[in-house]
Chain A
């Protein structure tokens, strides 16, 4: 055993039964007024969102700020924003699993749920940002009588179709497979017939046989091993939406690693935001999602924030070093042109503010980390704004230069998307165990003396 004492991953002296009781409590207890209030608010925002999408689809894309030359705007920016957030969940679930990081066990379920819901929220945007959304199915290569006319596999938007669908499917499946044993737990504790029926159906009749666990463990490892290159490839392909084009400011090979690092950065920001609120909403969970867990995630925010900051710096350096004056102009325009304010918001939120986490006091302070995580998300939305809008609004021929015409609908789409995400997330918190029961139990004795046995595990 190691000579360095590990910090306990679960606080307090608990038994396996305590773990089951603690985590199942929010699902089994009747809904609180607070939860209902939050759900109503989220649903109202969701409804607001749906109404505005319907108006846009019925009237035309001109209601948003997109124009000549800035033909992509809030919809694409918010799409990349939500997809990026999803990546942290897969990193926690899959990549940290491969690295055998035991601390991931209490946060993996909620992080992966965040991924699935963020990808669902993001997936709306490619469908509604088109000028004729009712024809979106033409992006799928299905046999037809028109040639047959297929699709353009060279287009990054088409790669997106495959990448995002694969990511949504595999993430959902991975999340669900992880859920099955916990749903069985709830089924076996169910006091009403309806609850038993629903959770029994969803848990597929799982009983916990070791032969089943053997297959299960292998499949979990496979899914983790497959999800890792998947998550790297998905955001790489999303970055290709920009990098494969010719625009100065878009056409750069740094985008794939830069986007992936940025996605992890923004995703962990959202995880911290959500988990600080979950800990407040379910105080018992503080023993499972401890300050140590939050601190480690803040360290990851710091690391990826520094990577993103390095990417900003190297973009500027390479633009200057290249001598290509379209490239030089693209970057000086970002920092000092009409959209200078968005650029400096991005820098201060993504590079400056996370430096607070150098100090342990701030890494372990809930109010500080909550505020920092909010700024991280704001900064990352602005990063996509800077990339999309500033590169498009001034490109090769100055006669084309223009400005994005931000409208009310842009704000409605951006804020409304949170309504969709929060509604689904709140429903998840009520109906599904928010901590992975079957993964947390094996790490119960980490950092503790196991009763009746020598040393910690």
Chain B
């Protein structure tokens, strides 16, 4: 894959592939270790001079994300250190939103999640943890090519700046558990409704699979079981399932549940121990696995909880706030050290012209060219 930011004369090859005894999912790719060397008793993974030769074969590469430019939209909001010091909320454009009917009140727990984009490195540990915790199926290359990946949390990666000097912006995205969830309004059978703790519940056994909820989600975090992925799991891999979480048959929608099984476990343990629920009793899988502690889960109705304090911070914003979905996930702006001529985010969806649509992308391009070609002339906005 041709990546912005990598020098034209450099090729990067990931180690760890080309295994021989790891099964269907692990025995893929090529072993890159033979290209490494040793110096002063330490392995060296760079610097080897290689020649590339074009062959007549084509090899299909697939990716879960095809478009890497924010198109001038306020998605990953950033600011610089000096701008932040003057105004902690710099980079955020607040929208005026209002409701034409009285909102439901949440008096018991009010679950919410905070993601600090300043701490997040995009390592994807959360993606792996969520997959293991929630029995999310692995669908394989063929179905990823057709757009059928099943990740409940994903790391969106955008490039900014110029192709010669790009910057990367990453954003972990999971179900936002919106209070005015667009998905709930359109499900005809009430398979997805809002519970009194603010969670967007997904009832697998009620879902008939109209997929209207997936269409109406502006964040596109809902995943549909296009086939019976469960049936294809071979023993003894079935032992790796989390017994606290069901598996979903085909025809059923699924998505991030804020690890509702862990929430129930945490609140039940507190009840059994005859004490009040306290902050930290429940950690979602993504939170637990994040090495940077970028993800924090908790109860907004507990004023002392970490998440409640983070939501009060000026750096916190909601994604696509203007749609008035009232998400329960708060993102915190990234603060960069380097100065830049303009600060991203503010007014970006109003002032700057939209980037023209690129025609030469899309997963089916790979069939023709054999590799993923990201071609953007000029500025990456």
Direct touch of chains A and B (CB < 8 A): yes
B156–A397 CB distance below 8 A: yes
Q: Check if B82 is an interface residue, CB within 8 A of chain A.
A: no
Closest Cβ of chain B to A196, distance in Å, is 47
Residues of A contacting B188 in the complex (Cβ-Cβ under 8 angstroms)? 139, 151-152, 155, 157-158, 161
Residues of A contacting B173 in the complex (Cβ-Cβ under 8 angstroms)? 397, 399
Residues of B contacting A157 in the complex (Cβ-Cβ under 8 angstroms)? 186, 188, 210, 212
A332–B356 CB distance below 8 A: yes
A241 to B210, CA, bound (A): 12
Q: Check if A309 is an interface residue, CB within 8 A of chain B.
A: no
A325–B73 CB distance below 8 A: yes
Given A245-B215, A396-B73, A399-B65, A149 and B206 contact (CB-CB distance below 8 Å): yes
Q: Which residue of A lies closest to B65 (CB)?
A: A399
Closest Cβ of chain B to A135, distance in Å, is 5
Which one of A72, A340, A394 lies within 8 Å of B211 (CB-CB)? A72
A136 to B173, CA, bound (A): 32
Q: Check if A27 is an interface residue, CB within 8 A of chain B.
A: no
A72 to B226, CA, bound (A): 12
B252–A67 CB distance below 8 A: no
A132–B209 CB distance below 8 A: yes
B156–A138 CB distance below 8 A: no
Q: Check if A295 is an interface residue, CB within 8 A of chain B.
A: no
A151 to B361, CA, bound (A): 41
A338 to B66, CA, bound (A): 13
Given A157-B188, A325-B73, A329-B71, A138 and B206 contact (CB-CB distance below 8 Å): yes
A68–B251 CB distance below 8 A: no
Which B residues from 143 to 194 make CB contacts under 8 A with A? 143, 146-149, 154, 156-158, 173, 182, 185-190
Q: Which residue of A lies closest to B319 (CB)?
A: A397
Residues of A contacting B364 in the complex (Cβ-Cβ under 8 angstroms)? 403, 405
A332–B354 CB distance below 8 A: yes
B218–A131 CB distance below 8 A: no
Residues of A contacting B209 in the complex (Cβ-Cβ under 8 angstroms)? 61, 130-132
A68–B363 CB distance below 8 A: no
B250–A131 CB distance below 8 A: yes
A399–B357 CB distance below 8 A: no
A135 to B148, CA, bound (A): 23
Residues of A contacting B250 in the complex (Cβ-Cβ under 8 angstroms)? 60-62, 131-132
Closest Cβ of chain A to B131, distance in Å, is 16
Q: Check if A84 is an interface residue, CB within 8 A of chain B.
A: no
Which one of A62, A132, A396 lies within 8 Å of B143 (CB-CB)? A62
Return the CB mask of B11-33 against A: 1 if under 8 Å, else 0: 00000000000000000000000
Q: Which residue of B lies closest to A335 (CB)?
A: B357
B147–A245 CB distance below 8 A: no
Secondary structure call for the B interface: loop
B208–A130 CB distance below 8 A: yes
Return the CB mask of A94-110 against B: 1 if under 8 Å, else 0: 00000000000000000
Closest Cβ of chain B to A34, distance in Å, is 42
Q: Which residue of A lies closest to B146 (CB)?
A: A405
A157 to B158, CA, bound (A): 35
Which A residues from 325 to 379 make CB contacts under 8 A with B? 325-326, 328-329, 332-333, 336-338, 340
Closest Cβ of chain B to A359, distance in Å, is 37
Which A residues from 68 to 117 make CB contacts under 8 A with B? 68-72
Given A130-B210, A157-B188, A246-B182, A397 and B75 contact (CB-CB distance below 8 Å): yes
Q: Which residue of A lies closest to B186 (CB)?
A: A155
Residues of B contacting A69 in the complex (Cβ-Cβ under 8 angstroms)? 147, 214, 220
A139–B148 CB distance below 8 A: no
Residues of A contacting B158 in the complex (Cβ-Cβ under 8 angstroms)? 398-399
- Give the contact-size bracket for chain A: 35 or more
B67–A399 CB distance below 8 A: yes
Residues of B contacting A135 in the complex (Cβ-Cβ under 8 angstroms)? 208
A131–B349 CB distance below 8 A: no
Closest Cβ of chain A to B221, distance in Å, is 9
Residues of A contacting B253 in the complex (Cβ-Cβ under 8 angstroms)? 131
Closest Cβ of chain B to A147, distance in Å, is 9
Residues of B contacting A247 in the complex (Cβ-Cβ under 8 angstroms)? 215-216, 218
Residues of B contacting A326 in the complex (Cβ-Cβ under 8 angstroms)? 73, 349
Return the CB mask of A368-406 against B: 1 if under 8 Å, else 0: 000000000000000000000000101111111111010
Q: Check if A244 is an interface residue, CB within 8 A of chain B.
A: yes
Q: Check if A17 is an interface residue, CB within 8 A of chain B.
A: no
Residues of A contacting B214 in the complex (Cβ-Cβ under 8 angstroms)? 68-69, 71
Q: Check if A262 is an interface residue, CB within 8 A of chain B.
A: no
Which one of B147, B208, B212, B320 lies within 8 Å of A68 (CB-CB)? B147
Closest Cβ of chain B to A350, distance in Å, is 22
A139–B208 CB distance below 8 A: yes
Given A67-B147, A245-B215, A152 and B190 contact (CB-CB distance below 8 Å): yes
A62–B323 CB distance below 8 A: no
A401 to B71, CA, bound (A): 12
Q: Which residue of B lies closest to A135 (CB)?
A: B208
Q: Check if A261 is an interface residue, CB within 8 A of chain B.
A: no
Q: Check if A156 is an interface residue, CB within 8 A of chain B.
A: yes
Residues of B contacting A70 in the complex (Cβ-Cβ under 8 angstroms)? 147
Which A residues from 239 to 264 make CB contacts under 8 A with B? 241, 244-247
Residues of B contacting A403 in the complex (Cβ-Cβ under 8 angstroms)? 147, 362-364
Which one of A155, A340, A394 lies within 8 Å of B212 (CB-CB)? A155
Residues of A contacting B189 in the complex (Cβ-Cβ under 8 angstroms)? 138-139, 151-152
Residues of A contacting B186 in the complex (Cβ-Cβ under 8 angstroms)? 152, 154-157, 244-245
Which one of B69, B147, B212, B251 lies within 8 Å of A60 (CB-CB)? B251
Which one of B70, B182, B207, B228 lies within 8 Å of A398 (CB-CB)? B70
Closest Cβ of chain A to B119, distance in Å, is 20
Q: Check if B318 is an interface residue, CB within 8 A of chain A.
A: no
Q: Which residue of A lies closest to B218 (CB)?
A: A396
Q: Check if B224 is an interface residue, CB within 8 A of chain A.
A: yes
Q: Check if B223 is an interface residue, CB within 8 A of chain A.
A: yes
A329 to B251, CA, bound (A): 32
B contact residues vs A (CB 8 Å cutoff): 65-73, 75, 143, 146-149, 154, 156-158, 173, 182, 185-190, 206-212, 214-216, 218-220, 222-228, 249-253, 320, 323, 349-350, 354, 356-357, 359, 361-364
A-B contacts, 9 of them at CB < 8 A, read: A69-B214, A131-B211, A131-B251, A132-B207, A139-B189, A245-B182, A246-B218, A338-B361, A399-B157
A contact residues vs B (CB 8 Å cutoff): 59-62, 66-72, 129-133, 135-136, 138-139, 149-152, 154-158, 161, 241, 244-247, 323, 325-326, 328-329, 332-333, 336-338, 340, 392, 394-403, 405
* Given A131-B210, A157-B212, A328-B354: 10 more A-B contacts, CB < 8 Å: A69-B147, A72-B212, A149-B190, A149-B206, A158-B188, A325-B73, A338-B361, A395-B220, A399-B68, A402-B147
